[in-house]
């Protein structure tokens, strides 16, 4: 069970969370890191890139790699996402397998548990998420059910929303890290370029409240990000939203451009919080036809082979 860390040993390494879409992986990472890093949205499969958050402790540094949800791919983009996930699994020191406390274990969870069983050398910790949405009886039943879908080094119930058991989970993950000096200088929460994080925040704002057919049809490219001439307190950001069809463009823009303005305002506030400076955000929207299935468009939008 729990690996005990000696106080005079420093540990550092990589951990990742996997699970079917919408089981609370990004929310959990953000709660552990204490800063909004990966995009979190109520729509499944919205985390697109492998984003690292870093948990600093006096005796340890835990680098968390966030992955998109594993799923059976239906498009070229889906295949790229899944190859990203599987390559991540072989490069980390521990894997957190996330299953929500308030939903029965289903085919998707078993599909991922089977994939994880093939990753022989990496310890897998089952993380029962969203415990704030379940009764004590439900949580107990889920812990038992989870124990029956695979062999896990530990099983930890948590609530990222309520902040419960996060220290326990961090301690368990750190216990599986190798002895090592810190891998990143103190204070750095992510090694993602700021432009990618800004693009993710814009994408999250664009996803909120739109119809179900949109999630995977929105991509964001940040064209320019630079301080305004003669001002050191204002950052100009020019970004482009891409959708697949004119009908989707109309949904994002909204009546007389109202929705796009709301997206811009929400994203700008989030970006200002992330970067700690005032921001001018210029948002454009274009149609890039069927970009999810077009290798050239995928490369242009930042998804590489």
Annotated binding site for GTP: 19-26, 66-70, 129-132
Q: Which residues are annotated as a binding site?
A: 19-26, 66-70, 129-132
- Residue 118's alpha-carbon distances to 65, 67, 90, 122, 165, in angstroms, are 19, 18, 10, 10, 28
User: What is the rounded distance in angstroms from the CA atom of residue 196 to the CA atom of residue 201?
Assistant: 9
The owner of tokens 């890290």 is 177
Task: Kindly give the residue spans of alpha helices, DSSP state H, lying in the chain.
Answer: 25-33, 76-89, 107-117, 136-147, 166-175, 194-207, 246-253, 258-275, 295-300
User: What is the rounded distance in angstroms from the CA atom of residue 276 to the CA atom of residue 143?
Assistant: 41
User: What is the rounded distance in angstroms from the CA atom of residue 39 to the CA atom of residue 21?
Assistant: 13
């Amino acid at each position: 069970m729990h690996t005990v860390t000696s106080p005079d040993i420093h540990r550092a390494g990589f951990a990742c969370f996997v699970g079917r879409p919408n089981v609370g992986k990004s929310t959990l990472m953000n709660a552990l890191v204490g800063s909004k890093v990966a995009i979190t949205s109520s729509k499944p499969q919205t985390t697109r890139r492998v984003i690292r958050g870093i948990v600093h402790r006096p005796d340890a540094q835990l680098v968390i790699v966030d992955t998109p949800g594993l799923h059976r791919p239906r498009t070229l983009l889906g295949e790229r996402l899944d190859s990203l996930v599987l390559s991540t699994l072989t490069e980390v020191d521990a894997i957190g397998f996330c299953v929500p406390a308030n939903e029965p274990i289903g085919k998707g969870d078993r599909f991922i548990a089977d994939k994880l069983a093939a990753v022989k050398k990496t310890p897998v910790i089952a993380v029962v998420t969203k415990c704030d949405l379940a009764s004590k009886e439900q949580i107990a039943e889920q812990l038992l059910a989870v124990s029956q879908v695979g062999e896990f080094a530990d099983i930890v119930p948590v609530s990222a929303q309520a902040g419960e058991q996060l220290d326990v989970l961090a301690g368990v993950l750190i216990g599986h890290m190798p002895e090592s000096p810190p891998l990143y200088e103190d204070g750095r929460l992510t090694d993602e370029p700021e432009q990618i994080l800004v693009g993710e925040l814009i994408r999250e704002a664009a996803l909120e409240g739109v119809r179900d057919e949109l999630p995977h049809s929105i991509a964001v490219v940040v064209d320019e990000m630079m301080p305004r001439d003669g001002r050191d307190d204002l950052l100009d950001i020019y970004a482009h939203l891409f959708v697949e069809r004119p009908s989707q463009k109309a949904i994002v823009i909204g009546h007389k451009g109202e929705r796009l303005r709301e997206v811009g305002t929400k994203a700008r506030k989030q970006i200002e919080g992330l970067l700690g400076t005032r921001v001018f955000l210029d948002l454009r929207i274009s149609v890039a036809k069927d970009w999810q299935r077009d290798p050239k468009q995928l490369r242009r939008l930042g998804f590489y082979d």
